[in-house]
């Protein structure tokens, strides 16, 4: 499995997965809107999207949105979206994508925060960032 930052070459397959992700969240199917949304995110570089590839096919993604925390007085990345195709959910894909995001956040001195619980992952007293 390969995990890397998404780029414009991933737009078509990533848009299909993003549409499936939104449908899982009880949203109507809307591939054109998903495509447009992700195209803008990639063009504006205002989110980071990691994709997981198996046999050159995108099987999952994780999306992070940069922001700042007034409470923590630090830059943060909100882990907003995570999706893996059902056939690959037992392949440790989410964990590996999360680890990649943690490593990048740590290397850049950024706090990684899960939108579901608004708590930083793996808080450590000795680290300048929470991963």
Looking at residue 53, its pLDDT comes to: 96
Question: Where does 11-110 show beta strands of DSSP type E?
Answer: 48-54, 57-69, 74-84
In whole angstroms, what is the distance from residue 73 CA to residue 3 CA? Answer: 30
Looking at residue 54, its pLDDT comes to: 94
Q: What is the mean pLDDT of residues 66-94?
A: 91
Identify the band that residue 16 occupies on the pLDDT scale cut at 50, 70 and 90.
Answer: very high
Identify the band that residue 116 occupies on the pLDDT scale cut at 50, 70 and 90.
Answer: low
Task: Report pLDDT digits (tens) over 42-75.
Answer: 999 999 999 999 999 999 999 999 999 898 888 9
Q: Which residue has the higher pLDDT, 130 or 30?
A: 30
**Buried b or exposed e, range 7-22, using 16+ CB within 10 angstroms:** eeebbebbbebbbebb
Q: How far is CA 123 from CA 46, 74, 106, 126, 131, in A?
A: 25, 14, 11, 9, 6
DSSP conformation class of 92: T
Residue 129 pLDDT > 70? no
């Amino acid at each position: 499995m390969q995990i890397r930052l998404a780029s414009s070459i991933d737009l078509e397959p990533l848009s299909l997965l993003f549409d499936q992700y939104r449908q899982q969240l009880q949203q109507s199917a809307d591939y054109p809107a998903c495509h447009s949304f992700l195209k803008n995110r990639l063009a504006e570089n205002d989110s980071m999207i990691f994709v997981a590839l198996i046999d050159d096919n995108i099987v999952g993604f994780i999306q992070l949105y940069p922001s700042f925390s007034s409470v923590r007085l630090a830059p943060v990345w909100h882990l907003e979206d995570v999706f893996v195709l059902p056939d690959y959910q037992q392949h440790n894909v989410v964990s590996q994508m999360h680890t990649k995001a943690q490593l990048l956040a740590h290397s850049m001195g950024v706090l990684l925060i899960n939108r579901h619980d608004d708590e930083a992952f793996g808080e450590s007293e000795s680290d300048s960032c929470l991963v």
